[in-house]
Amino acid sequence: MFDSVRVRLTLLYTGVLALILIFLSAGTYWLVALTMERRTYISMAEISQGFLATLQSEYKGQLKERAGPETLHVAALEAGNEFRLRDHRFAVLDSAGNVLAENQALPVPQEPDGTASQPEIPAEVLRHLAGRRQAEPARSSQLEIPAEVLRHLIAGTAGAPRRLQDLMLGGEHFRARVLQGKVGGSAISIVTLQSVEAERLLLEDIRRTLFWMIPVMLLIASAIGYFLARKSLAPVVVMSEKAAHMGAQNLNERLPVLNPRDELGHLASTFNDLLERLNRSFEQQRRFMADASHELRSPVSIIRGEAEVALSRARTPEEYRGSLAIALDEARRLSQIVDDLFTLARADAGQYPLRPRDFYLEELAVECVRAARSMAAARSLTLRYEPDGEMPIHGDELLVRRLTMNLLDNAIKYTAEGGIALKIGPHQNRLRFLVEDTGIGIRPEQLPKIFESFHQVRDPSTFVEGTGLGLAISRTLVSLMGGTLEVASTPGEGSRFWFDLLLPAVPLVRESPERQRRSIIGVRGARRRLLVVDDKEDNRALVRDLLSPLGFEILEAEDAQACLRLAASARPDAILLDLRMPGVDGLEATRRLRALPGTRDLVIIAVSASAFEQHREECLEAGANDFLAKPFRLDRLLDILRALLGIEVIYADAPAAGPSASAGDARGLERVVPPAAELDGLLDLARRGHIKQILAESQRLEAVDARYALFVAEVRVLTEQFQVKKLCQLLERARAEA
């Protein structure tokens, strides 16, 4: 019963009202009793003084007729007979306590015989009054007051002449007051008795009335309170019953709003707004799940179909390889979709923490352009980016890299001819990242939807592969960094995507000025052997081209099985192990290497294009010593090797280190510029952004003539740092010198 809000509100209301009525009744009763007490005191004081004046007047009159002790006694008798009042009695005592006189109260007046002018009293009232008189004791107006009682009253007022005393006489309540005075030189005491029976009966009637009236009032108030509470909470009951029957299938229904201006109406409106947001969220979730199911089903269906076709009959090895290649491509696509979905889920759940650090923004942009240039070249597109000097900033490098790559990848996919431009520069105290293309553009009606998950711009003449998650992820990541991804597009002309981020500038990021200026030409000590494990030959070749000129011996493996064989037989100093490979992936290969006695102590550096923190943690848990995100810089790789292998890097202007220096040590050589024809070739490669060819050509020039070592070292440093603009300027100056 007490679980009901209506009952609790009614009990609370009744309890508060009961306290109010009790305190109000008690206060009223006390005030009435106090008022009656004061009126009794004033009345008795006035009557006592009047009786004394009458006694003094009678005494003077008696002196004219007689003299002697009987004069005062006769005067007291006369005054008592003359000063008779209803409900009052008087007694006069001399100084010795002898009663001189005592009068009687006037009798209660009898009601006159009924006349036509007076209404007839009902018989029930007469019987009630007759019964009450029979129940009352005989009136004490005619009873003699004992002298001892009078003397006791006089003694009780000693020291307190104004004190009133209570007295029971013949079952009737009296209030007594003693007045001391003198008559004819004789001290007397006048005792005035006033019946308070009427007041007592009145107070008793008041108490009786309050005793039955308060419960009745509380009962009535409780019933009214319960009715009001029930009526007031009726909309809540209706809303709760309505809400209890609502689910994912009928979220379009709304709670009734009886009065939108009161509190309950406001509550119902708030719930309806919440239901509207939930309905939109459920709709988006259902649409998202349907799109995700479709995108996931497509590669799974292709993989299953290829497997069924391959197993349907015997085929040639080439046909099997073709089927496996298709299945592998679809598996990679499936993995990419899962990674993207995981990224969106983490971002939506607020579990994608920012990890700001100091880095050079122009170097990151060059690396992204370099990574996207091969995709642009495959579609005969130009990809332009001109660094505007060094931009050391503080921010989340991984997020900025992914955002830039997403926008570049999206622009390349939707551009058939022309080119793409990446622009980064200050805009209203922020850094603006802008990617502009000359692609198919976006129709105005499609602009509000392009940031939705799995949405792709559909053009009848253009087929674009992808999951439709790139822009959705980009917008989510930009919002995490405090920005907004914007778009402007003209159909048939191209699109512009941009976002502004607050990335504070820093004076220095990682490297000292000396280290940035000096060229790395080798490492000291014994030649180190590295095993590069990657299923893509281009990735292995890039590492080989970067590290071989520095004196490293490079071994290559295209899968985990080859890695395990070479690791056990060749005992490399370190293994660069790609995580995403067909068959056994990098994590499982790391676990197997740590489980073998001969390879458990090898240095393993996990390499992956995924820069998520959970991947780094998974690699370290599997047994890797460190994690390197692609695309990586040479100095970052050398930092890891320096920490794990204890190598010492040799710079072009480093002091001689004795005969133990590697073959790449260029100490003591003058800076000699290659011929103009060689420089023209390098300049052409630099202008086209062919980083790998520049490194290979530099290595060839150094092998042709050792005098080119210092110049080649400068070219290599700028190339490895992707400082294309500075590299072109260096080659142009060298061309002028030649």
Q: CATH number of the domain at 311, please.
A: 1.10.287.130
640 and 673, same domain (yes or no): no
| Within a domain: 129 | no
What mean pLDDT comes out for the span 619-634?
Answer: 81
Q: Which one has a higher pLDDT value, 26 or 232?
A: 26
pLDDT score at 515: 43
395 vs 661: CA distance, rounded Å: 39
711 vs 690: CA distance, rounded Å: 19
Q: Which of 279-288, 426-435, 549-558 has the lowest mean pLDDT?
A: 279-288
What mean pLDDT comes out for the span 681-709?
Answer: 77
Query: Which letter, b or e, does each residue of 55-68 get, where b requires 16 or more Cβ atoms within 10 Å of its Cβ?
Result: bbebbeebeeeeee
Percent share of the chain, pLDDT over 90: 6
Q: Which one has a higher pLDDT value, 144 or 514?
A: 144
pLDDT score at 107: 60
Residue 591 scores a pLDDT above 80: yes
Residue 475 scores a pLDDT above 90: no
> pLDDT tens across 315-361, in order?
788 777 777 877 776 777 677 667 667 666 666 666 567 778 888 88
296 and 314, same domain (yes or no): yes
Grade residue 556 by pLDDT with cuts at 50, 70 and 90. Answer: very high
Closest CA to 151 of 110, 102, 112: 102
pLDDT score at 514: 41
pLDDT score at 563: 92
What mean pLDDT comes out for the span 212-223?
Answer: 89
| Within a domain: 118 | no
What mean pLDDT comes out for the span 557-576?
Answer: 90
Most confidently modeled range among 32-41, 346-355, 520-529, 703-712: 32-41
715 and 638, same domain (yes or no): no
387 and 309, same domain (yes or no): no
Domains: count for the chain = 5
What mean pLDDT comes out for the span 450-466?
Answer: 56
700 vs 680: CA distance, rounded Å: 15
pLDDT score at 658: 37
Residue 117 scores a pLDDT above 50: no
Q: Among 646, 667, 692, where does a domain finish?
A: 646
| Within a domain: 497 | yes
In Å, the largest CA–CA distance within the chain is: 171
Residue pair 174/166 in contact (Cβ under 8 Å)? The answer is yes
330 and 366, same domain (yes or no): no
DSSP states of 451-515: TSTT----BTTB---S-S-HHHHHHHHHHHTT---EEEEETTTEEEEEEEE---B-S--SS-HHH
- What residue type is assigned to position 638 of the chain? L
433 vs 274: CA distance, rounded Å: 36
Q: Which of 10-24, 144-158, 313-327, 502-516 has the lowest mean pLDDT?
A: 502-516
Domain that holds residue 491: 357-501
Ramachandran category for residue 184: left, alpha or beta (phi over 0 → left; psi -120 to 50 → alpha): left
Residue 528 scores a pLDDT above 70: yes
418 vs 326: CA distance, rounded Å: 31
Ramachandran category for residue 577: left, alpha or beta (phi over 0 → left; psi -120 to 50 → alpha): beta
Q: Which one has a higher pLDDT value, 538 or 509?
A: 538
pLDDT score at 1: 58
Q: Which of 127-136, 171-180, 311-320, 686-695 has the lowest mean pLDDT?
A: 127-136
CATH number at residue 558: 3.40.50.2300
| Within a domain: 267 | no
Q: Among 612, 646, 680, where does a domain finish?
A: 646
52 and 187, same domain (yes or no): yes
| Within a domain: 416 | yes
| Within a domain: 93 | yes
639 and 535, same domain (yes or no): yes
Q: Among 329, 348, 367, where does a domain finish?
A: 348
81 and 159, same domain (yes or no): yes
> pLDDT tens across 658-680, in order?
333 333 333 334 567 888 878 88
- In the predicted model, what is the mean pLDDT of the chain? 77
Q: Which of 199-203, 344-348, 510-514 has the lowest mean pLDDT?
A: 510-514
97 vs 188: CA distance, rounded Å: 9
pLDDT score at 348: 64
Percent share of the chain, pLDDT over 70: 78
Closest CA to 176 of 198, 188, 161: 161
**Helix, strand, or coil here: 396?**
coil
What mean pLDDT comes out for the span 252-273?
Answer: 76
**Helix, strand, or coil here: 92?**
strand
What mean pLDDT comes out for the span 247-255?
Answer: 71
Residue 31 scores a pLDDT above 90: yes
Q: Is the dihedral of CA 270, 273, 275, 281 positive or negative?
A: negative
What mean pLDDT comes out for the span 694-700?
Answer: 79
Residue 531 scores a pLDDT above 90: yes
- For the chain, report the end-to-end CA distance as a whole number of angstroms: 102
**Helix, strand, or coil here: 130?**
helix
Q: Which one has a higher pLDDT value, 511 or 535?
A: 535
pLDDT score at 320: 79
| Within a domain: 513 | no
Residue 247 scores a pLDDT above 90: no
CATH number at residue 52: 3.30.450.20
613 and 706, same domain (yes or no): no
As to burial, measured by CB atoms within 10 angstroms (0-12 exposed, 13-18 middle, 19+ buried), residue 21 is middle
640 and 686, same domain (yes or no): no
585-to-166, 560, 582, 624 alpha-carbon distances in Å: 110, 7, 6, 13
Residue 138 scores a pLDDT above 70: no
Residue pair 568/615 in contact (Cβ under 8 Å)? The answer is no
461 and 604, same domain (yes or no): no
> pLDDT tens across 370-391, in order?
777 767 877 888 888 877 667 8
Residue 457 scores a pLDDT above 60: no
530 vs 544: CA distance, rounded Å: 9
pLDDT score at 665: 39
136-to-108, 677, 681 alpha-carbon distances in Å: 15, 144, 138
| Within a domain: 464 | yes
What mean pLDDT comes out for the span 50-69?
Answer: 81
Closest CA to 259 of 236, 225, 226, 278: 236
Residue 596 scores a pLDDT above 50: yes
492 and 405, same domain (yes or no): yes
89 φ, ψ to 5°? Answer: -135, 150
DSSP states of 500-548: EE---B-S--SS-HHHHHSPEEEEBSSPPEEEEE-S-HHHHHHHHHHHG
Residue 517 scores a pLDDT above 50: no
Q: Which one has a higher pLDDT value, 700 or 595?
A: 595
